[in-house]
Amino acid sequence: MHLLSNIIRTERLPHEFCPGCAIGQIYHYAAKAVEELGINMDKVVFLSGIGCNSRGVGYVRFDSATTLHGRALAFATGIKLANPDLTVIVVTGDGDGAGIGGNHLIHAARRNIDLTVILYNNMVYASTGGQLAPTTPYGTYTSTTPYGNLEEPFDLCSLVTAAGAVYVARWTTAHPYRAISSIKKGILKKGFAFIEIVGQCPTYFGRYILKTTDPAKCLKWLLENSVLKSSTTETRDQGKIVVGEFVDRERPELTEQYRILREKIKTQGVHYG
């Protein structure tokens, strides 16, 4: 029996992801975090947008939904405002979450609504042919940059930090225990939590960036090309992926502010101006 069969729909296995894909690992990390925290499963909602990762919500035993492309955070905002007691976890990709849905990412962090966002960064648009993404490294060859990428990639952790997120971390799929620990911290944090997980996509990430489709070699590359935040600067110097916890702070949370406002209106009435 699978160790997480109470959370993962093992009857739907084997999954439909490419061999060696990181998505299965990331959903496993998220499911493990929920299990270790002992959260009531009836109070958990998993959401995704469109992309390779969108199929993952069908493999967990929580209320879940695949939303429109780039709109997972807008959907999650509505759910959390309607029922603030729910634990809402959004699993998105770098294309869905930072490309098509980049504006929603910025404003969800700005509003500091109590969501946990796990963004799978495989550095390409993987579900549609390996095209250039907002996170594709400079100079990289993809299906739409045959002469090399001329654009600098987003540092998503810096982006959401500047926008106001209260918990921000980055790991790779070669750091499973640290990734699970950060997801747990993000769930427990009152406010917008963002955990970026850089993961292997042997089909495109490996083929274009590493020149290999071997998942083990992709994972080895992630491990060898990651450096802890404490041992370097927070910029991606010399092609290294800086991992670690970047932000852990307090700010007023949106649904709590709405609750205070409702109580104020009840007791004092509505006043304009």
pLDDT at 29: 94
Residue 62 has pLDDT above 70, yes or no: yes
- The reported pTM is 0.93
pLDDT digits (tens, 9 = 90+) for 151-186: 999 999 999 999 999 999 999 999 999 999 999 999
pLDDT digits (tens, 9 = 90+) for 114-137: 999 999 999 998 888 889 899 999
Q: Across all residues in the chain, what is the average pLDDT?
A: 90
pLDDT at 167: 98
pLDDT digits (tens, 9 = 90+) for 185-195: 999 999 999 99
Top-confidence residue, 3 or 189: 189
Give the integer Cα–Cα distance in Å for 139 and 48. 30
Give the 3-state secondary structure of the chain: CCCCCCCECHHHCCCCCCCCCCHHHHHHHHHHHHHHHCCCHHHEEEEECCCHHHHHHHHECCEEEECCCCCHHHHHHHHHHHCCCCEEEEEEEHHHHHHHCHHHHHHHHHHCCCCEEEEEECCEECCCCCEECCCCCCCCCECCECCCCCCCCCCHHHHHHHHCCCEEEEEECCCHHHHHHHHHHHHHCCCCEEEEEECCCHHHHHHHHHCCCCHHHHHHHHHHCEEEHHHCCCCCHHHCEEEEEEEECCCCCHHHHHHHHHHHHHHHCCCCC
Q: 10-268 belongs to which homologous superfamily?
A: Thiamin diphosphate (ThDP)-binding fold, Pyr/PP domains (3.40.50.970)
Q: Where are the domains of the chain?
A: 10-268
pLDDT at 52: 84
pLDDT at 127: 84
Mean pLDDT score, 104-114: 97
Of all residues in the chain, the percent with pLDDT exceeding 70 is 95
pLDDT at 16: 83
Mean pLDDT score, 82-109: 94
Residue holding tokens 């702070």? 249
Top-confidence residue, 208 or 117: 117
Q: Per-residue confidence at 106, pLDDT binned at 50, 70, 90? A: very high
pLDDT digits (tens, 9 = 90+) for 210-251: 889 999 999 999 999 999 987 555 545 567 899 999 999 999
Side chain identity at 254, as an amino acid letter?
L
Q: How far apart are the first and last CA of the chain?
A: 62
Q: Per-residue confidence at 272, pLDDT binned at 50, 70, 90? A: low
Q: Per-residue confidence at 2, pLDDT binned at 50, 70, 90? A: low
Q: Per-residue confidence at 273, pLDDT binned at 50, 70, 90? A: low
